[in-house]
């Protein structure tokens, strides 16, 4: 950006700065006193008024108070130099009063107004009362001058406070709109994911049935080959064993495809959530070889039994805990927490592993998407499907290098219209 570009110009030279400079220059020109000290004080006030917003120190609360006190001191010197109590510059005290009213609280405004009034009245102590007496009209004039300061100060503070209230309202509305937009984006992502799941589910079901038939023939042929090959058949028997084992692995994979594709018939009953999570964690601890990860459980005592398909939800928590454990270095820990979240129950599975890259977050619940070298990409897709069938939802927060949190939200009356046992 050029140093003389319009954006640069408006940032450092604002239109109202020119107005301030013109006003203070006019004060110096029309002054009835025309002394060098008077003009110097007016120039200092004008330059400080223009420079204050640009100085970082004066942007904080303490800096704002310091700036107001500096203005008050300059005003005091100007009034004192130009006649004290009789100075025609007495209204210059409105400058720090208005600044305080727009920037400080009511207590701060009261303090500055009182300080300004006392500062102006202090010039009475410089009078020679042996030669000077104050008639009634002069006392009234002095009282009016002093009363102008609190009247203008409190009126300005009231207007500034009204503007601050409106600004807070607008800020609250902006935050609500931001939250609504975020919720809308999440809902759109969920709809897109559901559409993809439906289409891929139909495709998977059709392919799985078509592949399973020839796969059975391959498995049966491998068994016949092993029976007809002598025990010392060598390479032929080894190849037959390999064909049979790969056929079994493929059949297992197809079974998982069908589990994902076919509609889930829930068998709901009220069970303790903690017992389901405990069994899922115990299943993980029985793995061989062990993963070397500790599972900590932090359960809220206020959460009781929930309506769920016990077997399917145990599978959900087992998959989430297993993924968290696989992402955690050996000797680390995975935490499972439950808590009430309004009308829902939140179950969080937390790890401190490598995290998930931001570009992958929207796709991790899609079938066949995986970042694991030997993964199939159906685990989280099935988890999401089961949670959806229970009328719940699942969300993920992850920071690369810091860890991941999967959150499952369930309702006590989730899927109440489905088959009960």
Q: Provide the pLDDT for residue 9.
A: 44
Decide: helix, strand or coil at residue 24.
Answer: helix
DSSP letter assigned to residue 152: H
State the total domains in the chain.
3
Work out the average pLDDT over 252-270. Answer: 73
More confident residue, 202 or 314: 314
User: Is residue 180 domain-resident?
Assistant: no
Greatest pairwise CA separation for the chain in angstroms? 137
Closest CA to 347 of 307, 396, 382: 396
Confirm if 77 and 34 have CB atoms less than 8 A apart: no
- The CA–CA distances, whole Å, from 396 to 50, 179, 351, 355, 360 equal 50, 17, 12, 11, 11
Distance CA 177, CA 328 (A): 37
Per-residue model confidence (pLDDT) at position 262: 64
The CATH number given to whatever domain includes residue 218 is: 1.10.287.130
Q: Which of these three, 90, 115, 133, is where a domain ends?
A: 133
CATH of the domain at 386: 3.30.565.10
pLDDT in tens, 264-320: 678 889 999 999 999 999 888 888 678 889 999 999 988 888 999 998 899 899 999
Which pLDDT belongs to residue 256? 67
142: phi then psi, degrees, rounded to nearest 5? -65, -40
pLDDT in tens, 371-395: 766 666 677 888 888 898 888 999 9
DSSP one-letter code for 123? G
- Whole-structure pTM over 0.75, yes or no? no
**What's residue 219's pLDDT?**
78
pLDDT of residue 230: 61
Within 89-128, strands assigned E span none
* Helices 94-103/136-228 angle, 10° precision: 30
At residue 398, φ and ψ (nearest 5 deg) are: -150, 140
Please, which residues have CB within 8 angstroms of residue 208's CB and are 6 or more apart in sequence? 254, 257, 258, 261
* Whether pLDDT at 211 is above 80: no
Strands 294-298 and 333-341, by their bridges, are parallel
* Residue for token pair 């003389």: 4
Domain that holds residue 396: 269-411
- Of all residues in the chain, the percent with pLDDT exceeding 90 is 22
What pLDDT is stored for residue 248 in this prediction?
A: 77
Looking at the fold, whether 368 and 242 belong to one and the same domain comes out as no
Residue 321 tokens, joined: 């805990």
210 alpha-carbon distance from chain centroid: 48
- Grade residue 263 by pLDDT with cuts at 50, 70 and 90: low
Residue 327 lies in a domain: yes
Instruction: Give the confidence band of 130 by pLDDT, cuts at 50, 70, 90.
Output: confident
Q: Indicate if 301 and 405 belong to the same structural domain.
A: yes
Residue 327 · residue 289 · CB < 8 Å: no
């Amino acid at each position: 950006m050029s140093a003389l570009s319009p954006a640069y110009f408006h940032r450092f030279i604002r239109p109202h700065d020119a107005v301030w400079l013109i006003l203070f220059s006019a004060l110096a020109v029309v002054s009835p006193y025309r002394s060098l000290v008077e003009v110097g004080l007016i120039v200092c006030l004008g330059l400080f008024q223009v420079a204050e917003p640009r100085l970082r120190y004066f942007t904080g609360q303490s800096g704002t108070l310091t700036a107001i006190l500096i203005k008050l001191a300059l005003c005091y010197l100007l009034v004192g130099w130009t006649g004290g109590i009789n100075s025609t510059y007495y209204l210059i005290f409105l400058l720090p009063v208005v600044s305080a009213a727009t920037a400080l609280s009511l207590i701060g405004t009261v303090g500055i107004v009182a300080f300004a009034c006392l500062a102006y009245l202090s010039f009475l102590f410089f009078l020679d009362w042996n030669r000077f007496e104050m008639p009634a009209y002069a006392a009234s004039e002095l009282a009016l001058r002093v009363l102008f300061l609190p009247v203008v100060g409190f009126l300005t503070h009231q207007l500034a406070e009204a503007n601050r209230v409106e600004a807070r309202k607008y800020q609250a509305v902006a935050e609500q709109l931001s939250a609504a937009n975020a919720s809308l984006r999440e809902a759109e992502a969920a709809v897109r994911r559901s559409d993809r799941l439906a289409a891929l589910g139909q495709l998977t079901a059709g392919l799985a049935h078509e592949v399973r038939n020839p796969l059975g023939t391959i498995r049966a042929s491998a068994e016949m080959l092993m029976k007809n090959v002598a025990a010392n058949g060598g390479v032929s028997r080894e190849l037959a064993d390999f064909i049979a084992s790969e056929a079994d692995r493929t059949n297992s994979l197809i079974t998982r495809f069908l589990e994902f594709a076919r509609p889930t018939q829930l068998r709901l009953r009220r069970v303790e959530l903690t017992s389901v999570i405990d069994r899922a964690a115990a299943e993980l601890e029985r793995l061989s070889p062990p993963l070397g990860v500790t599972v900590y459980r932090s359960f809220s005592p206020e959460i009781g039994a929930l309506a769920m398909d016990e077997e399917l939800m145990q599978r959900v928590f087992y998959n989430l805990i297993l993924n968290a454990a696989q992402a955690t270095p050996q000797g680390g820990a995975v935490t499972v927490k439950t808590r009430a979240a309004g009308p829902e129950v939140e179950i969080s599975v937390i790890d401190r592993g490598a995290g998930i890259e931001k570009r992958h977050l929207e796709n991790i619940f899609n079938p066949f998407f995986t970042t694991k070298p030997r993964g199939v990409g159906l685990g989280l897709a099935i988890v999401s499907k089961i949670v959806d069938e229970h009328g719940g939802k699942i969300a993920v927060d992850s920071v690369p290098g810091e860890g991941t949190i999967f959150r499952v939200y369930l309702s006590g009356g989730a899927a109440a219209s489905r088959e009960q046992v």
